[in-house]
Homo-oligomer: A and B are copies of this chain.
Amino acid sequence: MIAFRTLLGAAVLAAPFGLFAQAAAPKAPADLIVTYARVYTADDARPLVEAFAVRDGRIAFVGSQREAAVLRGPNTRVVDAGGRTVIPGMVDAHAHFSGLAQTLRSVDLTGTNSLAEVIARVVAKSKSVPKGTWITGRGWDQNDWGVTDFPTHDALTAALPDHPVLLERVDGHAQYANMAAMKAAGVTAASKAPVGGQIIKDAKGNPTGVFVDNASDVLEKQVPAPTAAEYKSALKDAIALMHSWGLTGMHDAGATRAAIDTYEELAKAKELNLRLYVMIGDDKAALDHYFAKGPQSAMYDGQLWVRAVKLYADGAMGSRGAALLEPYSDDPNNSGLLKSTQEHIREVAERGLKAGFQVNTHAIGDRGNRVVLDAYEQALKTVPTADHRFRVEHAQILHYDDIPRFAQLGVIPSMQASHQTSDMYWIGKRLGPTRLYGAYAWQSLLQTGVVIPNGSDFPVEQVNPLISFHASIARQDARDWPAGGWFPEQKMSREDALRSMTIWPAYAGFQEASMGSLTAGKFADFVILDTDIMRVPAEMVMKARVVSTYVGGKAVYEAAK
* A residues neighboring B (CB under 8 Å): 1-13, 15, 17-18, 20-22, 24-27, 38-39, 42-50, 53, 61, 63-71, 96, 98-99, 101-102, 136, 168, 172, 220-221, 223-226, 228, 231, 254-259, 261-262, 264-265, 268, 281, 283, 293-302, 304-307, 356, 380, 384-388, 407-410, 446, 449, 451, 495, 499, 503-504, 506-507, 510, 512, 516-517
State in angstroms the CA–CA spacing of A499 and B48 once bound together: 13
Is the pair B26, A386 in contact by a Cβ cutoff of 8 Å?
A: yes
Closest 9 CB pairs of A and B: A18-B299, A64-B410, A22-B297, A6-B225, A20-B298, A48-B449, A7-B258, A1-B172, A67-B386
Is the pair B408, A4 in contact by a Cβ cutoff of 8 Å?
A: no
Is the pair B296, A18 in contact by a Cβ cutoff of 8 Å?
A: yes
The residues of B that contact A21 with a CB separation of less than 8 Å are 294-297
State in angstroms the CA–CA spacing of A385 and B451 once bound together: 37
The residues of B that contact A510 with a CB separation of less than 8 Å are 22
Q: Chain B's nearest CB lies how many Å from the CB of A532?
A: 12
Q: Evaluate whether A98 and B3 lie within 8 angstroms (CB atoms) in the complex, with A21-B296, A307-B22, A387-B25 already known.
A: yes
State in angstroms the CA–CA spacing of A21 and B290 once bound together: 13
Is the pair B99, A3 in contact by a Cβ cutoff of 8 Å?
A: yes
Q: Chain B's nearest CB lies how many Å from the CB of A236?
A: 14
The residues of B that contact A46 with a CB separation of less than 8 Å are 451, 507
The residues of B that contact A10 with a CB separation of less than 8 Å are 225, 228, 258
State in angstroms the CA–CA spacing of A258 and B9 once bound together: 7
The residues of B that contact A262 with a CB separation of less than 8 Å are 7
Contact check: which of B13, B71, B254 meets A261 at CB < 8 Å?
Answer: B13
The residues of B that contact A380 with a CB separation of less than 8 Å are 66
Is the pair A64, B407 in contact by a Cβ cutoff of 8 Å?
A: yes
Q: Chain B's nearest CB lies how many Å from the CB of A216?
A: 9
Is the pair A4, B386 in contact by a Cβ cutoff of 8 Å?
A: no
Beta-carbon nearest neighbor of A307 in chain B: B22
State in angstroms the CA–CA spacing of A89 and B328 once bound together: 50
Is the pair A499, B4 in contact by a Cβ cutoff of 8 Å?
A: no
